[in-house]
A and B are shown apart, each in its own frame.
Chain A
């Protein structure tokens, strides 16, 4: 029996090592590849100068590095947020994007941006996060209201997608009629992109995403109890009301933060937790939460690499790429679930 356990721990350890290696490889690729390619050694030398030297040095230090770190932090946060929502709704295809939470955050951020552009000031990143969080909470509130009324989970998802469409439509209106030179930026952002992120932004997002993700990890025990359903969790001594509240706040905060900086990014929140669970053959939060963070970072870095390089110099929106890889996973989940529960 203990041999068994050792074998399992070993396998999971190996999986973590593999994921870390993959992440490191993607980090190197992301720094080196782009509109001009550099060897890792050249990049290393350039990094040591901290953007002080040539144009290349500045591109690497001021553009590629922040973008790379944003991909890691935001991708990780997004996957963890998805994991929380799936636990909360007991539904494998719940996620911040399909439930309309990202779109709600997007709408609120667009409103704030436009209001501030008109007053010819630029919005601070903390303010954007607050706006996104407010928007996310409004959408989340709506979804929760719906969840009380509809018993079927698929209907909840449909309601969430509709909320998402409404928010996106209103955002598009706002962008179309707003007159500002920065509108191009806003437009890019609203489609989802890791570009244009500064070191200051990195500081703020790390301050939000990392503690929030750590908090989720520390909640592993009640999350594991909640996976058996509310009634059993309560019998195990979980304070259900408090726990649900914390779960909602954390998942909204995470997806709001991502949206504030990178716009709505689709499917990462669903695809990554699913892939991670199937790969590790477990759903234990203690293992899956950190694995999801790593997996989200890998997924987003990989997708961003594709978005930046495949049609260079034209850049794809990150959401198109994540959808390309994430949506098939969702379809697979739905089909396999039907097969299992079918006659």
Chain B
């Protein structure tokens, strides 16, 4: 990869004990951008990050930081430009959170490591940025995981780096702290013009926060590109070797596998009314047919992941006769109809006919899962 990226790797091969784990990694990142590494457990995300921080020596290739090769930079040079937040639990002794954050000033303090007024000011700013100023005097071992992660981030920030590497910063955090942390990262990248490289397991969050995504699996990098290229159904399925369930790029989330078997339930839905019923049927392991749904309807996309069969119609168009025919045909093999609709509009008026036909045929008609036999 050529070009003027602030941080880039050139045919980087990483591994341990001379055995290559991943070959020929080529990435480029500018300040202010966020790159996430996704991929299955044990695929080597941490190994890549550690190689990028010069913790382990690359087997081949070079990492460039500000146009200089990491290899020719001393730890001291690197410390001014690159900070890390690691996964391992930090064991501290009698250190307040303020003390932990202040260790980020290490590269800037004098030979005895005494903090100057400027160092204290930077420490304070970093703590304000991640909103942990009130934790300043609390013992680092006595705060929650989410707070700890933010303290470590503040530590990295007050090192005044151009690049921050984070190894799974969102693991162990509940959803609220995950969002807060990512919000801080996004802000920091923008306002302080810091480049961020991190590994993550949460695909939905990775899709939303990243500028670039690196898929790590196998000996070579599976894919590298902007999130809209990476978060595609087939790509995510093959990246994680998913045999059950599916990944939906629209929702950015995964769905459990479809219930197997011959459908005996027909669900009429639309406009999001079917979501609860579709998921409920999946949980109960009951196969179903969904219809008639417009292809631009949210229910259509979910039904595609969960239903045995979906009767669809082109978006924004009234339902055609032949589509109704297909639905009626499918209806005849079902014994129960779940009608999620409260009323009908112009484009889905055919669904009213469908429901009336079911009633005429004497099918069991219910409106929710609670009445399901």
Contacts and interface: CB of A to CB of B under 8 A. Distances in A.
Nearest to B111: A221
Contact of B103 (A232, A239, A240): A232
Interface string B61-93: 000000000000011111110111010101111
Q: Is the interface of B mostly helix, strand, loop or mixed?
A: loop
Interface in B97-118: 99-100, 103-104, 106-107, 109, 111-114
A187 interface: no
Contact of A277 (B54, B93, B159): B93
Interface stretch (A97-105, A116-124, A160-168, A223-231): A223-231
B187 interface: no
B55 interface: yes
Nearest to A91: B91
B171 interface: no
B43 interface: no
Contacts of B112: 218, 220-221, 286
Contacts of B80: 237
B95 interface: yes
B76 A237 contact: yes
A90 B106 contact: no
Interface in A228-284: 228-229, 231-232, 234-240, 277, 281-284
A225 B84 contact: no
A33 to B, nearest CB: 36
Contacts of A218: 111-112
Contacts of B273: none
A340 interface: yes
Contacts of A281: 94
Contacts of B88: 229, 231
Given A228-B103, A231-B88, A282 B94 contact: yes
A281 B96 CA distance: 10
Contact of A235 (B53, B91, B92, B100): B53
Given A228-B92, A282-B94, A283-B95, A236 B111 contact: no
Interface string A278-295: 000111101000000000
A236 B107 contact: yes
A198 to B, nearest CB: 36
A227 B92 CA distance: 7
What range describes how many residues of A lie at the interface? Answer: 20 to 34
B86 A232 contact: yes
B90 A340 contact: no
A303 to B, nearest CB: 25
B367 interface: no
Given A237-B74, A237-B78, A221 B94 contact: no
A207 to B, nearest CB: 24
Contact of B94 (A231, A237, A239, A277): A277
Interface in A321-343: 340
B114 A236 contact: no
A224 B100 CA distance: 10
B193 interface: no
A229 B90 contact: yes
B83 A228 contact: no
Contacts of B120: 1
Nearest to B77: A237
B141 interface: yes
B106 A221 contact: yes
Given A220-B113, A237-B75, A283-B95, A232 B141 contact: no
Given A221-B113, A228-B103, A229-B88, A234 B75 contact: yes
A143 to B, nearest CB: 20
Nearest to B139: A281
B23 to A, nearest CB: 25
A236 B103 contact: yes
Contacts of A231: 55, 84, 86, 88
B19 to A, nearest CB: 19
A225 B78 CA distance: 15
Contact of B109 (A1, A221, A282): A221
Contacts of B113: 220-221, 224-225, 286
7 contacts: A220-B112, A221-B112, A225-B106, A227-B92, A227-B95, A235-B53, A283-B94
Given A228-B92, A229-B90, A237-B74, 4 more contacts: A231-B55, A237-B79, A238-B75, A283-B94
Interface of B: 53-55, 74-80, 82-84, 86, 88, 90-95, 99-100, 103-104, 106-107, 109, 111-114, 120, 141, 159
Interface of A: 1, 90, 92, 218, 220-221, 224-225, 227-229, 231-232, 234-240, 277, 281-284, 286, 340
Closest 8 CB pairs of A and B: A221-B113, A237-B79, A237-B76, A236-B106, A283-B93, A283-B94, A237-B75, A235-B84
